[in-house]
Structure 1
Amino acid sequence: MSDQTSRDQINIVAISCSPFGGGKTRTAIEAVLSGAAAAGARTTLIELGEDPGSPPDYEAAVEAIRAADGIAFGSPMYRATYTQQFKALTEAIPRTPDDAPLAGRAVTTVATAGSDHHMLGMSGMRDILVDFFAAHLVSPGLFVSPAGFDGPALQAPVQKRAETLGLGLVELATAIRSSSGLARATPNA
């Protein structure tokens, strides 16, 4: 691959905000990345809970966000809300006039939960990303309850939805790159 092709390739980063590595949230996020890769994007997965014995490396996650054209944020839902790891990550992301790495970026959300009753917890993730950070959202995101899994794997229809979400993330990131206005979004004061 030439340097020019590498620079032109869309870079998608997925961040799993699960307190534990692996698991259903990772499975769902990997399916989104699969769709992004099939669309020609370079993809990276970061797991904040990969090593339960060490604190998450939020600084490395923020640097990956800076380099990304699009970001998929994933979190298991507990009591209809996202994890502390997602909250801590959003607190680590700068949001100043001179430094706002999420502003004008394509984002989407992925959530897993023990029941369908937790689906609305995703709205809190979206609100923070869109209204606070001025990111552009590929909606509706992906919510997966236990019925969406066949053992450790996603059910085929859910896998397809996840891959379509990854494609949409690449397409929105591409549109933002070529837009005279979308990339200049700034957070509300």
Structure 2
Amino acid sequence: MTTTRLLGIVGSPSPGGRSLVALRALLDGAAATGAATEVIELADGPDPEAVQRAIEAADGIAFATPTYRARSSSLVKGVLENTERGVAGDTRAPLLGKATAIVHTGATAHHFLAVDDLRDVLGGFFAAQVLSPGLYFEGADYVDATTLTDRARALADAHGRAFAEFTTAVRAAPAVRALRPLL
């Protein structure tokens, strides 16, 4: 069996922030199952084509983003707007049939439903398979800017382990991977 390859994309405009901390905790849980992990921080200004190639090469993609006005960051939106869906003459569809996971961070719990907005885009628009319920960490879930509380760390670890298993299951399900975007 081949190693499951998981890519984490961090959509924070500030490198090394709380979204990265949360994503790394999720990926640590996945790595504990034997998955290989990689992280791209969009704040570092990676080449958009390199991001698309990394998405294509991965078996599963976790999107981590701070929450702005109950939505994902513009950096995550920019990656998704640059991603073809395999319809209407598109030559690529890097998210089609891929396992995905969502990690949102915010100051308070008031905007936790932002996870649903990104889930709808990934599932309906791209026909990606999304691990539910997603994660949302607020300020109270951090000891400091670089450390999750024990409870939040355990939750991220559990989601990471589930994401690795979910990705393996999706990869082994050709009928699921063959589903197409709604329109």
Same fold (TM over 0.5): yes
What pairs with 1:52-91 in structure 2 (closer than 5 Å)? 55-91=45-81
Gaps of 5+ in 2: none
For the Cα contact (< 8 Å) 2:15–2:41, is it kept in 1?
yes
Question: Is the contact made by 1:9 and 1:41 (CA closer than 8 Å) also made in structure 2?
Answer: yes
Deviation (angstroms), 1:184? 1.2
Q: Does 1:109 align with 2:102?
A: yes
Q: Which of 109, 129, 135 is the matching residue for 1:136?
A: 129
Q: Specify the code of the residue in structure 2 equivalent to 1:133.
A: F
CA distance in 2, matches of 1:180, 1:12: 19
Gaps of 5+ in 1: none
| 1-structure distance, mates of 2:159, 2:33 | 11
Number of positions where the alignment pairs a residue of Structure 1 with one of Structure 2: 179
Q: 2:39 is matched with which residue?
A: 45
Residue equivalent to 1:23: 17
Which residue identity lines up with residue 60 of structure 1 in the other structure?
A
Match of 2:112, SS state, is helix
Give the match's secondary structure for 2:113.
helix
1:174 aligns with 2:168: yes
Does the 8 A contact of 1:36 with 1:163 survive in 2?
A: yes
The alignment's C-alpha RMSD in Å is: 1.2
Q: Identity of paired residues, percent? A: 38
TM-score scaled by length of structure 2:
0.93
